[in-house]
Amino acid sequence: MMNSEKQNDKKIWNYNPSLPISNSPVFEIPWVPRSVIKRLTFRWIKLTPALIFLLLAVGVYQFLVIDVSKMATLSFTWIGEILLRNLIIFILFAGSMHVYLFSFSKQGQLFKFDLREQMKNNPSFTFRDQVLDNMFWSLASGVTIWTLYEVMYFWGIANGVIPSLTFIGNEIWFFVWMLVLPLLHSSHFYWVHRFLHWPPLYRRVHSLHHRNVNVGPWSGMSMHPVETFVFISSVLIHFVIPSHPIIFLLHLYMKAIGPIFSHAGYEKIVYKDTKIIDAGDFHHQLHHRYFECNYGTTEVPWDKWFNTFHDGTEAATTATNERRRKKYSRV
């Protein structure tokens, strides 16, 4: 059943979760240890995007990464292998989710935030088609720059200029990294995202991503190359602070594949009314609708601390629209 807030938003949203949206209990006072432990650990023991990325990182490193010593010299052979592998991974995730949710509409409108279809014959998009536009920029910019970071990392490892850890003997640090990564991602995303909303940079760079008001799986990494480079740049921490290569790959997948899930347009993916996995992020869906809000994620409440948080309520919409009006009246 819809709560009262959902009833008020019925003309705007086909579906929205219970409102107001809440942030991570890790930063809520008073601290509730049970809730904090659950938030930090359950993503790694239940079927979640995070667990999928971890398993993918383990599988790729164990079976698909060539001998690191062979990466000491830049070669189209091993670089091409990484690029091809990343293209296949991205197409499998984004393509299968798009086909299931949009092409074949296997769960109809169940858990779909916005009833509108992906846009066609619209001159705002490359090729006048939202999906083709998103596919082009995701693959040409997103996967290419993701691959560039991966090539730099393994080249650095092979040449001894980037530190790394083995798993044996560093098990605690491996799991500490797993707990820290979502917090690191959230903080980095908030600040670079706010920077991308600086009007001159927004017009020249970030506006490409914001063509997508009604998002889909291909929208997440549909970015200008400058934005893609900045967005993924949080992985540079591994170039300085030692971690295991699996952790580096996990971080990369959170950045490069994670947006496929967060921009799915559906909160959950279901099969015959049975939930399979959480997908879309209503917190970020609100950002695509109202722009000047929810620059980060709910993992670290930077939006709440800096008064850019939209909790999904009508009052928050009014405040966000007013903030946006004031900002652009000065430009």
pLDDT band at 331 (very low <50, low <70, confident <90, very high): low
Rounded Cα gap, residues 14 and 111, in angstroms: 8
Q: Could you list the residue range(s) of the whole structural domain that residue 186 is in?
A: 4-329
3-state secondary structure (DSSP) of residue 4: helix
Show Cβ contacts of residue 321 under 8 Å, excluding neighbours closer than 6 positions.
290
**Which residue has 């499998």 as its token pair?**
92
Token digits for 126?
């490359």
> Which spans in the chain are helix H?
4-8, 33-41, 49-63, 76-98, 130-137, 144-158, 171-196, 199-204, 225-232, 245-256, 258-262, 282-290, 302-305, 314-329
Q: Enter the DSSP assignment of 116.
A: P
**Which residue has 């971890």 as its token pair?**
54
Show Cβ contacts of residue 100 under 8 Å, excluding neighbours closer than 6 positions.
106, 107, 269
Q: What is the mean pLDDT of residues 243-252?
A: 98
200-204, 243-247, 323-327: least confidently modelled range = 323-327
Contact between residue 127 and residue 210 where contact means Cβ atoms under 8 Å apart = no
> Is the predicted pLDDT of residue 2 greater than 50, yes or no?
no
Show Cβ contacts of residue 70 under 8 Å, excluding neighbours closer than 6 positions.
78, 158
Q: What is the mean pLDDT of residues 187-201?
A: 97
pLDDT band at 329 (very low <50, low <70, confident <90, very high): confident
Give, to the nearest 10 degrees, the angle between helix 144-158 and helix 225-232.
Answer: 40
**What percent of the chain has pLDDT above 90?**
92
Q: What is the mean pLDDT of residues 251-275?
A: 97
* CA neighbor of 137 nearest in space, from 45, 34, 227: 227
Q: What is the mean pLDDT of residues 23-34?
A: 94
Cα–Cα distances in angstroms (integers) from residue 96 to residues 54, 139, 331, in the given order? 19, 15, 42
> Is the predicted pLDDT of residue 115 greater than 50, yes or no?
yes
Would you state the pLDDT for residue 325? 82
Q: Which amino acid is at 329?
A: S
Q: How many domains does the chain have?
A: 1
Q: What is the mean pLDDT of residues 92-103?
A: 98
Rounded Cα gap, residues 327 and 14, in angstroms: 29
> Over the stretch 277-326, which tens digit does the pLDDT of each residue have?
999 999 999 999 999 999 999 999 999 999 999 999 999 999 999 988 88
Show Cβ contacts of residue 314 under 8 Å, excluding neighbours closer than 6 positions.
5, 8, 9
Contact between residue 196 and residue 202 where contact means Cβ atoms under 8 Å apart = yes
> Is the predicted pLDDT of residue 24 greater than 70, yes or no?
yes
Would you state the pLDDT for residue 273? 85
Show Cβ contacts of residue 318 under 8 Å, excluding neighbours closer than 6 positions.
none
Contact between residue 153 and residue 163 where contact means Cβ atoms under 8 Å apart = no
Would you state the pLDDT for residue 11? 67
Rounded Cα gap, residues 19 and 6, in angstroms: 8
The verdict on whether omega for the bond into residue 20 sits within 30 degrees of 0, i.e. cis, is yes
Contact between residue 238 and residue 153 where contact means Cβ atoms under 8 Å apart = yes
Would you state the pLDDT for residue 330? 66
